[in-house]
Every structure is written in structure tokens, then in C-alpha cells.
Structure 1
Amino acid sequence: MRWEYFIVAFAAMYFVCVSGDQSYEDKRCKCVCPSPAAVLNNTTGSDRKLYIANVQPNKCDCDGVILPQVGADVKVRALEFCPRCECKYENRNTTIIKVVVIIVIWVIMLLVVYMGFLICLDPLINKRAKASYQEHTNEEDEVGGGPSQQMGARGNVLNRVTHQQDKWKRQVREQRRNIYDRHTMLN
């Protein structure tokens, strides 16, 4: 049943990538210009307008990109308007961008699945460990054996993991108490 979710997610990403092909070009000319109102009204505004067109690199200028998209009143004042524009020809590979995005999404999905696995596994470890775990006050007692060796390899691993987890939690509590109550640091 889990594989069905992966197939549906992959199909959704594929259709998003395929439908996006019509709206993005690998080669384009991007021009940033002041608002046409700044030229027409003789005001100096800081508003900028973006013009994008799919043209040849030698046509990436005001005449090839901007003037076909603006009104006749701006075309009359092209000598005032065009020097204020900055045009750049961009060549990019959207296929690589799509692949990287898909890989990032898959990594995030795998991490979410792993996190869910750990969340589901944590109560099982704690329930099993609470039933068979005796708290150690001295770490050297662990070497001597005892009940953890009798449970077999699987139980021994769970006990060690639970013991390390409890030990880490105690250290964190002690560190917090030292920092917040005593205002000291552990070495």
C-alpha cells in the first residue's frame, strides 16, 4: 500500500514538470526597465518593470524585446526610455533544475518516512525496555553480565540502545539543571 503513495507522488511530480514546459524557456532575454509612466509623465519613479521574451541573443535589447510589448506612446519616446533599461540574455537548463527538485523532494520524503518509522519504533523500544530493564547506577556493572546477556542478541541490543538513550537524557537533564539553576557548565 505504501508503494501506491510513491507512485501517485511520482506521477504528480511528473505531470507538474510536463505541464510546466509550456511556461518556461531554457533561453530567454530578460529586461528590467522603469515604469513607462516615468517616461510619459516625466516623473522619476523607482518602480521597475520586467520584460521577458524568447529571442535570439543578438536581439536581446530594447528594440527586440521591450518596444514590441509597449504602447505607441512609449515607442515615440524610445530614445528616452531605452537607455534606462538593462537587458540580459539567460541560458539555463530547466531539465537539470527539475531533476534536482525531484531529488530533493524524494530525499525529504525518505526522511519523513524514516522519521515516522522512528516515531513508531520509539514506543516499542520503551515498552520492551521498561519491562526488562534494571537501572544501572555504575557503568562498570554492565561488563559483568546479568539479565541483559540472558535475553539474547536482540534483547541485548535493545537494552544497550535504551540504556544509552536514558543515559543521554539524564546528561541533558543534568546539563539543563546546571545551566539554568547553578549557571555553570559541565566539562
Structure 2
Amino acid sequence: MSLGFGGVSVFGVLFAFNLVVSLSDARMRCRCICSRQLDLSQRYNKTVWVKTIENPSQCKCPEVVSVQNATDCLLCDCKYETLSVVFIEVIIIMILVGLGALVLYMIFLIVSECLGSKSLRTNPNGLAAKGWARIRSHQQHWREGVAEQRRNVYQRHTVLS
């Protein structure tokens, strides 16, 4: 399986096609909030009924709410809603693209480290060897700082000293 940029461009084309298709594919539903009391502002004693419908004219209480008595629908407020899942899909795709970029960066770092250590063995006095030595010295300095912070926190019980 290839993790190159070709896979990302194919992924982008598929996403654009899915976006065009999903713009015309929205969920339509009718939501009825029925109260058991005359005061509709109270939050308790309310029942919510949701039904997927095709036409806004079908958004009426007797078609959505399964009640036996027609007077129960007098206390219901029914609203037609169109839900689009495009925004959610865009966020998920952005997260997946970000994770893919991080994976590609990780693979790049692994490969460059392997090639760097190989060049160190073949030419210990070259420019790559000096670069890797500088990186390793920075890593060692960072590790020493972390170890000092650990000693301060766990042994001396001080922070930022």
C-alpha cells in the first residue's frame, strides 16, 4: 500500500465527489414536542417525537405522533427540519488528512534517521555526520534538562527552580 501524495489526491477527488452527492442528500425530518400540560415553556413533562419524512406537508402531529386521541395533538408543536451532514463529514476528513500528514512525517523521520545513521558509518567526517552529531547533542541536552526537572519534582519537591 502506498502512502504517497497520490493516495491523498485520490482521496481528495473522492471527497469532492462525496461532497457534491451529499449536498443533494440531506435528511429531512419532522420533530414534534408534545407537552402534557398547557404551559409549553416548562421543560418537564414533554415528549419528543421524530419521524423521517419526504415532504414538509407531512409534518403534522397525527402523522408523526402515535396517539390514539386527537386532543393529545393540541399540545404538540411540530417543526420540519432539514439536517445536512456535510459539515460533520468535512471535519472528519480534515482530521483524517491531519493524521495522514502526521503519519507521513513520522515515516519521513524514520527513513531519514536510518539513512543518516548509514551515512555516519560510511563517512564519519562528512557534513551529514556533523549534522547528526549536533542533533544528538541537542537531544542529550534536552534529556538532561528533563532528568533535572524530574529530580526537582520527585526528590526535592520543587517546581521551576
Whether 2:24 is the aligned partner of 1:50: answer no
Return the alpha-carbon distance in structure 2 between the equivalents of residues 128 and 184 of structure 1. Answer: 43
Q: TM-score, normalised by structure 2?
A: 0.60
Secondary structure of 1:98 counterpart: helix
Is 1:68 aligned to 2:63, yes or no? yes
Distance apart, 1:128 and its partner CA: 7.7
TM-score, normalised to structure 1's length? 0.54
Could you tell me which of 77, 80, 94 is aligned with 2:69? 77
CA distance in 2: counterparts of 1:102 and 1:33, whole angstroms: 34
Corresponding residue for residue 155 of structure 1:
129
CA drift of 1:96 comes to 5.3
How many residue pairs were aligned?
Answer: 150
Among 91, 94, 97, which residue is 1:106 paired with? Answer: 97
2:33 aligned with 1:33, yes or no?
yes
* Structure-1 separation of matches of 2:81 and 2:64: 17
For residue 184 of structure 1, report the CA deviation from its aligned partner: 1.3
Unpaired runs of at least 5, structure 1: 39-43, 132-149
Larger RCO, structures 1/2 (Cα 8 Å, 6+ apart): 2
More helix by share: 1
Gaps of 5+ in 2: 37-43
Closer, same or farther in 2 for the Cα pair 1:112/1:167, shift >3 Å?
same
Q: 1:30 to 1:114 in 2, by over 3 A?
A: farther
Q: Which has the larger radius of gyration?
A: 1
Contact 1:53 1:65 in 2 (8 A): no
- The share of aligned pairs that are identical, in percent, is 23
- Asked if residue 169 in structure 1 is aligned to residue 161 in structure 2, the reply is no
Q: Separation in 2 of the partners of 1:98 and 1:155?
A: 46
Partner Cα distance (2:101, 2:155) in 1:
40
Given residue 100 of structure 2, which amino acid in structure 1 is its aligned partner?
A: M
**Which secondary structure does the structure 2 equivalent of 1:186 belong to?**
coil
